[in-house]
Amino acid sequence: MDGYIIATVIKAILILAVISALAGFGTYIERKILAFIQRRLGPMHVGPFGVLQIAADGIKLFTKEDFIPSGANKIVFMVAPIITAATAFIALAAVPLLPEFTLFGIDVKPIVSDMNIGILFVIAMMGVGLYGPLLAGMAQENKWGIIGSARTAIQFLSYEVVTGLSLLAPIMMVGSLSLIDFNTYQAGGIGHWIVWTQPVAFILFLISGFAETNRTPFDLLENEAEVISGYATEYSGMRWGMFFIGEYANMITIGFLASLIFLGGFNPLWIIPGGLAIILKVAFFFFLMLWVRSAWPHIRPDQLMWLCWKVLMPLAVINILITGLVMMA
């Protein structure tokens, strides 16, 4: 029992450290890749190829004044960014990050809590994450903030439906909510990946994943052209940084979910060992998010709702229906 608690605490701290470092590094990757796509160089001067740019950004964010507007609701304003960052990391608790491995003679399962409802927990935690932007926007007494938080509410609520419904069909096929069961279900190589049997669900999940992580075709929450910075208008310094650590951690979570559920998870691929395979898959999804950001314009709020309720949700329901019929036959 004691060993279990200690192991869990160590895993939690490790995940917190690694993922928040990766989230910071994600900002560098994003700037670099967007720059390459626009045929620019991106950050170049801090460290070799600008790798230490995140250190410079971190120093800037930490030393900046932590500004709280006089009209704002102080406590809620201060707590809101923590909600975003915390829920993003709590969601990762139920995600198996790597295959099991042996370290110093101890079998290590790289998952903080192997609960049998993993997917549901991750989706629930990402759903709770909407309180960060929501409360932030409402607490700061700023019209852009209020619009940003209203958009948070409609966008996250609507696309949670699509996420849930699109994942229902694969869940029906596997018959379990545990992400490890999903992984073992697809153990037979590329031919067994769920993406071949559920392509519609994969595309729907990807689209709603973009919406839930607030990535570009659906980045209405903090669109500069329309609502200045949306919910983050009045934030500065590390509180602003926490929103972005949360956002990048969510991107990593969505990448892990998509690769675990649809793309074979951490099963070995040809000669690539499982651990490297899943890292490559997550890296691909991360790159895809940046790639899409560089290519596509974002859409209007009414188009967002149109897409969700008139296109994606009916498609998801039809997909579930067809899956059910095929499974019964």
Partner 1 sequence: MEAIAFYIFAILITGLFLVTAFSRNILYAMSSLAAGMVLISGLFFILGADFLGAVQLVVYSGAIMALYAFGMMFFDATRDVKEKNTSSYLVFLLSGFSAVALVVIFAAPTIGKHIEPIVTAPQGLDNPHAIGAVLFTKYLIPFEVAAVMLLVAMIAGIVLASKKMDESLSEIYLDADPETEKKEQE
Partner 2 sequence: MSLDKLKNRNVGVQNYKMLDLGHTPESGWGKFKQVLKRSVKLELFVGLKVTIREMFKALFMGEMHTVKYPFEKLPISPRYRAIHEMKRLLESGHYRCIGCGLCEKICISNCIKMDTRYDEEQRKEVSDYTINFGRCIFCGYCAEVCPELAIVHGGRYETASEQRASYSNFEDMLTPMDELMNQKEYPGFGAPTPVADKNIKKTPLAY
Site residues for partner 1 per CB under 8 A: 1, 71-73, 75-76, 79, 115-117, 120-121, 123-125, 127-128, 130-131, 134-135, 138-139, 141, 146, 149-150, 153-154, 156-157, 160, 164, 176-177, 302
User: In which region does residue 298 sit, left (phi positive, over 0), alpha (psi from -120 to 50) or beta (all else)?
Assistant: beta
Residue 291 interacts with partner 2 (CB under 8 A): yes or no: yes
Residue 304 interacts with partner 2 (CB under 8 A): yes or no: no
d(CA 79, CA 138): 12
Nearer to partner 2, 184 or 303 (CB): 303
Please give the C-alpha separations between residue 329 and each of 67, 168, 315, 324, in angstroms, as whole numbers.
62, 18, 21, 9
Using alpha carbons only, give the angle 185, 207, 288 rounded to the nearest 5 degrees.
Answer: 85
Please give the C-alpha separations between residue 13 and each of 25, 263, 274, in angstroms, as whole numbers.
18, 28, 23
Among 7, 283, 294, 301, binds partner 2 (CB under 8 A): 294
Residue 51 interacts with partner 2 (CB under 8 A): yes or no: no
Query: Taking the CA of residue 299 as centre, how many other CA atoms within 13 Å lie in the half-sphere pointing to its CB?
Result: 17
Residues in contact with partner 2, shown as a per-residue x/- string from 98 to 137 under the rule CB under 8 A:
----------------------------------------
Alpha helices in 228-297 (DSSP H): 237-261, 274-295
Q: Give the one entry of partner 2, partner 1, none that residue 307 binds, where binding means its C-beta sits below a cut-off of 5 to 8 angstroms depending on kind.
A: none
Nearer to partner 1, 76 or 283 (CB): 76
d(CA 23, CA 246): 8
Nearer to partner 2, 89 or 202 (CB): 202
Considering the complex, what minimum distance in angstroms separates the CB of residue 141 from partner 1?
5
Among 9, 40, 317, 327, binds partner 2 (CB under 8 A): 40
Considering the complex, what minimum distance in angstroms separates the CB of residue 303 from partner 2?
12
Q: Give the one entry of partner 1, partner 2, none that residue 141 binds, where binding means its C-beta sits below a cut-off of 5 to 8 angstroms depending on kind.
A: partner 1
Identify the CA nearest to 239 among candidates 86, 126, 128, 80. 80
Among 108, 117, 292, 305, binds partner 2 (CB under 8 A): 292
Identify the CA nearest to 37 among candidates 322, 291, 227. 291
Choices 13-21, 124-132, 249-257, 287-295; region in contact with partner 2 by CB under 8 A = 287-295
Nearer to partner 1, 180 or 277 (CB): 180
d(CA 6, CA 128): 27
DSSP letter at 108? E
Residue 39 interacts with partner 2 (CB under 8 A): yes or no: yes
Strand pairing category for 101-103 and 106-108: antiparallel
- Residues at the site binding partner 2, with contacts judged by CB under 8 A: 33, 36-41, 44, 291-292, 294-296
